[in-house]
């Protein structure tokens, strides 16, 4: 995008002159996304798709529910990612199903090695949260079942994960990626579909369990999951906390190495259980979807 040049005569009064105090450095602006805006209120009135099918004693409903939700959304609707769902949950009354049931969200957590140094130095293990659709389409999850899960996650090929770090998804679409350091204080014009890359050691060492408010908002994994939107995360915490002031943030990274690239979807628990990355792909699924024009069918 071309940038307009401001004539020097209009900004000369801002220049430092001898005898004046130096102008303090200004903090960098938050990174901008692609400008796609989401109707959060439409999510509250969206349609829920649930499936708990089992095959041979194993749950396989997650991709089925996601497939139905994506079909309802169509090309002009959407299935909310994690931060969009939390923003809608904050708006919903405590009697809403968002508070009385767990939900799956259209955000996936992936781990692997940045072999070529696309985001961080070469051979750095990384965590990549992808919002709004990434590698794990319903078909890819079903393929993962057939191939055999690793740690209850889909086992990726090296080209799949390398392509992800290059912003290239298997379906040929481009993915906008941001470094964790650039989104810690938030994003402007946050897109629906985007990824955040974090050194794996940063998230692997975080606590998995219940948190108090200050611990929750300072947790790098919470920040990455919430795309740096501390305002929404704080509101969510205040509504979800129990009488002891606790909300959960769970992950399964302890003891898991990133040498085998892999990924799974995220969940949000009904109340104080909080953000759940501890459930595997071999789970039931419950997604909310918004149809074309922001309209969700009645529940």
Provide the CA 7 distance to its chain's centre, in angstroms.
41
Residue 298 confidence (pLDDT) = 32
Residue 38 confidence (pLDDT) = 84
Tens-place pLDDT, residues 2-36: 433 444 444 344 444 444 444 344 444 444 443 44
CB 182 within 8 A of CB 200: no
Please state, in angstroms and as integers, the Cα–Cα distance from residue 196 to each residue in 182, 183, 228, 296, following that order. 9, 8, 10, 28
82 φ, ψ (degrees, to nearest 5): -60, -50
**In terms of C-beta density within 10 A (0-12 exposed, 13-18 middle, 19 or more buried), how is residue 186 classed?**
middle
CB 111 within 8 A of CB 262: yes
For tokens 């798709």, the residue is 49
Q: Got the DSSP string for 111-125?
A: EEEETT-SSSSTTEE
Residue 294 confidence (pLDDT) = 62
Tens-place pLDDT, residues 85-101: 999 999 999 999 999 99
Write the DSSP symbol of residue 259.
S
Residue 37 confidence (pLDDT) = 64
Residue 275 has pLDDT above 70, yes or no: yes
Tens-place pLDDT, residues 212-243: 999 999 999 999 999 999 999 999 999 999 99
Q: Please indicate whether residue 5 or residue 134 has the higher confidence score (pLDDT).
A: 134
Once rounded to an integer, what is the mean pLDDT over residues 145-166? 97
Q: Got the DSSP string for 126-189?
A: EEEEEES--S--HHHHHHHHHH--BTTBEEPPHHHHHHHHTTB-TTS-B--EEEHHHHTT--BS
Residue 297 has pLDDT above 80, yes or no: no
Once rounded to an integer, what is the mean pLDDT over residues 139-143? 98
Residues pairing with 218 in the sheet: none
Residue 6 confidence (pLDDT) = 41
């Amino acid at each position: 995008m071309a940038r307009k040049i401001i004539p020097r005569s209009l900004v000369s009064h801002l220049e430092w002159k001898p005898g004046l105090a130096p102008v303090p450095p200004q903090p960098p602006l938050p990174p901008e996304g692609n400008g796609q805006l989401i109707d959060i209120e439409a999510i509250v009135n969206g349609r829920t798709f649930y499936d708990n099918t089992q095959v041979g004693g194993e749950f396989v409903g997650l991709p089925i529910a996601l497939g139905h939700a994506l079909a309802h959304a169509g090309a002009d609707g959407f299935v909310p990612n994690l931060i969009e769902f939390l923003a809608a949950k904050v708006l919903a009354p405590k009697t809403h199903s968002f508070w009385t049931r767990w939900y799956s969200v259209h955000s996936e957590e992936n781990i692997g090695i940045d072999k070529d140094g696309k985001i961080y130095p070469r051979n750095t293990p990384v965590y990549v949260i992808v919002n709004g659709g990434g590698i794990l389409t319903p078909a890819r999850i079903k393929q993962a079942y057939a191939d055999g899960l690793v740690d209850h996650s889909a086992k990726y090929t090296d080209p799949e994960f390398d392509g992800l770090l290059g912003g290239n998804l298997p379906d040929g679409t481009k993915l906008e990626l941001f470094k964790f350091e650039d989104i810690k204080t938030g994003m402007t014009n946050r897109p629906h579909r985007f990824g955040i890359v974090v050194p794996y050691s940063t998230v692997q060492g975080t606590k998995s369990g219940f948190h108090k408010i200050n611990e929750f908002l300072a947790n790098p994994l919470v920040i990455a999951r919430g795309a740096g939107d501390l305002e929404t995360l704080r509101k969510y915490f205040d509504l979800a906390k129990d009488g002891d002031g606790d909300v959960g943030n769970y992950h399964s990274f302890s003891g898991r190495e990133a040498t085998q690239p892999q990924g799974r979807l995220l969940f949000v628990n009904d109340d104080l259980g909080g953000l759940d990355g501890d459930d595997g792909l071999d789970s039931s699924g419950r997604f909310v979807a918004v149809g074309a024009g922001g309209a969700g069918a009645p529940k």
